């Protein structure tokens, strides 16, 4: 889950990483009153889950509250890389003497958190890595040993920070960033730029923050930060119902039980010449409730033309899934053709149940390939 800048900064603040004072606004008038409260010049920042806002014109300085109102009016509603701005973060404008870069990400290759630091901040880090690779200091942390202050010193000296006052502040921020990363189960935390003011004060001017979805249950305060309006409706519905759902861009909606089976179903659809529209994983379930939920999610996608149920009964019994499908068809109107392939525990009973009821838009096929071919044909 990606956090907005203002949300990441809120976590930074809680864990002692310095940021500027600010407030959130959804209208120009709100922006004005936040600016009044803050006093002095402010910066009005588009809150969207994408980078490069500065270049896109989504970040503007304002001299006074009326100017903040005007700038917010320009930024709200703006489209930045396909993201519409619905919120702006207003903060006290900082004077910038230097722009540094500091991040901590999860490096899957070596299974360790990776610090990156450079004094060439402010620009895209990919550009630094390409043009001045020597200026970018990289350092892995052994998660079992945890963060050690010498690592922070190596980052700072390696990056060439010479001012002792800066060194001290950055060292503290590096340690706190590690703590933030670990305690929130983050996958990525990035401060670009980490600024030094003319008075020598170091502060996080931006925040990019990604938390591991699988760990959100441990962090209800962060889970609650999710912006439901920014999520497509079918994904929102899936999340609310606890259905695992992934949107793709073809025409065949796929419902299976277990990630492995679902993945191979995608391949078989491709083999049959079709394209999957999405997929839902029923997991270990398959009861009527789960099937109804999944069908609701799948059919909310207007691109879906046919639906393929691919179930291998293990703990989930095929007769139960068959009853689930019939109950779902009783409860909701589905116009899409539904192709079903059942195998494994009680597959015979399951097929029989479907044969006896034989709803007109239901097709039972004996194998995965037959089912995929039929689903693709019906989607055409
Ligand atoms: P991004 O473009 O999405 O990465 O957004 P940032 O928050 O990093 O802002 C982009 C740039 O705007 C920064 O690198 C700064 O140069 C500038 N900027 C942001 N906030 C301030 C501020 O308070 N004062 C000044 N002078 N510049 C700022
Ligand atoms: Mn930035």
Q: Is residue 94 lining ligand 1, measured as CB closer than 6 Å?
A: yes
Using 50, 70 and 90 to split pLDDT, how confident is the model at 286?
Answer: low
Residue 27 scores a pLDDT above 70: yes
Residue among 333, 283, 274, 331 nearest 308 (CA)? 274
Cis-peptide into 193, omega within 30 deg = yes
Quote the pTM value: 0.74
Beta strands in the chain (DSSP E): 2-3, 22-25, 42-46, 59-62, 79-80, 83-84, 88-92, 98-107, 112-118, 137-140, 186-196, 202-204, 208-211, 244-247, 252-256, 276-281, 306-313, 338-344, 362-364
Q: What's the 165 CA to ligand 1 centre distance in angstroms?
A: 23
| pLDDT band per the 50, 70, 90 thresholds, residue 233 | confident
Ligand 1 and 60: CB distance under 6 A: no
pLDDT at 72 over 90: yes
Centre of ligand 1 from the C-alpha of residue 225, in Å: 23
Q: What is the mean pLDDT of residues 225-245?
A: 80
| 245 pLDDT higher than 80 | yes
Average pLDDT, the chain: 93
Query: Any catalytic annotation for residue 190?
Result: yes
Tens digit of each residue's pLDDT (9 = 90 or more) over 295-308: 888 888 889 999 99
80 within ligand 1 shell (Cβ under 6 A): no
Task: State which of 96, 190, 204 you would mutate to test the pocket of ligand 1, scoring each by most atoms of that ligand within 8 A of its C-beta.
Answer: 96
How close is the Cα of 204 to the center of ligand 2, in Å? 10
CA atoms in the 13 A half-sphere facing the CB of 322: 25
- What pLDDT was estimated at residue 230? 73
What pLDDT score does 302 carry? 87
Pick the residue with more confidence: 72 or 51? 72
Q: Determine if ligand 1 sits within 6 Å of the CB of residue 318.
A: no
Q: Which of 11-20, 90-99, 214-223, 295-304 has the lowest mean pLDDT?
A: 295-304
Instruction: Assess whether the C-beta atom of 205 lies below 6 angstroms from ligand 1.
Output: yes
Distance of CA 215 from the midpoint of ligand 2 (Å): 26
Tokens read off for 264: 């191979």
Residue pair 270/343 in contact (Cβ under 8 Å)? The answer is no
What pLDDT, on the 0 to 100 scale, is given for residue 247?
84
User: Is 285's pLDDT higher than 70?
Assistant: no
Q: What is the pLDDT of residue 284?
A: 62
CA distance 146 to 88: 36
Tens-digit pLDDT profile for residues 163-205: 999 999 999 999 999 999 999 999 999 999 999 999 999 999 9
Q: pLDDT tens-digit profile of 39-48?
A: 999 999 999 9
| Known active-site residue 100 | no
41 close to ligand 1 (CB < 6 Angstrom):
no
- Written as six digits, the tokens of 244 are 């695992």
- pLDDT for position 37: 97
Q: Choose, from 100, 101, 147, 178, the residue flagged as catalytic.
A: 101
Predicted local confidence at residue 374, as pLDDT: 97
CA 153 to chain centre: 32
Pairing of β 276-281 and β 59-62: unpaired
């Amino acid at each position: 889950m990606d956090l907005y800048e203002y949300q990441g900064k809120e976590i930074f603040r809680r864990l002692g990483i310095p940021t500027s004072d600010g407030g959130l606004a959804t209208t120009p008038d709100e922006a004005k009153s936040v600016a009044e409260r803050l006093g002095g010049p402010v910066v009005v920042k588009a809150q969207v889950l994408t980078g490069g806002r500065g270049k896109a014109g989504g970040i503007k300085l304002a001299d006074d509250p009326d100017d903040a109102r005007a700038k917010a009016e320009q930024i709200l509603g703006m489209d930045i890389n396909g993201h519409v701005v619905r919120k702006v973060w207003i903060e006290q404008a900082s004077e910038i003497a230097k722009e540094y870069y500091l991040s901590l990400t999860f490096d899957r290759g070596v299974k360790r958190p990776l610090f990156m630091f450079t004094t060439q901040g402010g620009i895209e880090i990919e550009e630094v890595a390409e043009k001045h690779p020597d200026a970018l200091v990289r350092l892995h942390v052994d998660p079992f040993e945890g963060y050690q202050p010498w690592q922070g010193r190596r980052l700072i000296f390696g990056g060439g920070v010479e001012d002792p006052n800066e060194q001290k502040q950055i060292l503290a921020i590096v340690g706190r960033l590690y703590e933030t990363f670990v305690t929130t189960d983050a996958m990525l935390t990035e401060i670009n730029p980490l600024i030094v003011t003319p008075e020598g004060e170091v502060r996080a001017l931006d925040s990019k923050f990604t938390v591991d979805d699988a760990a959100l249950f441990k962090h209800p305060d962060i889970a609650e930060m999710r912006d439901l309006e920014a999520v497509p409706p079918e994904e929102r519905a899936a999340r609310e119902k606890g259905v695992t759902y992934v949107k793709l861009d073809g025409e065949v909606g796929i419902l299976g039980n277990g990630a492995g089976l679902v993945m191979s179903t995608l391949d078989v659809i491709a083999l049959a010449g079709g394209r999957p529209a999405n997929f839902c994983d029923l997991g270990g379930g398959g009861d009527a409730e789960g099937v109804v939920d999944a069908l609701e999610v799948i059919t909310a996608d207007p691109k879906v033309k046919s639906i393929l149920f691919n179930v291998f009964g293990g703990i989930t019994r095929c007769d139960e899934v068959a009853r689930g499908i019939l109950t779902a068809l009783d409860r909701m109107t589905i116009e899409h053709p539904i192709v079903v392939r059942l195998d494994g525990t009680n597959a015979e009973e399951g097929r029989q149940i479907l044969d006896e009821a034989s709803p007109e838009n239901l097709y039972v096929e004996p194998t995965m390939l037959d089912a995929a071919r039929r689903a693709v044909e019906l989607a055409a």
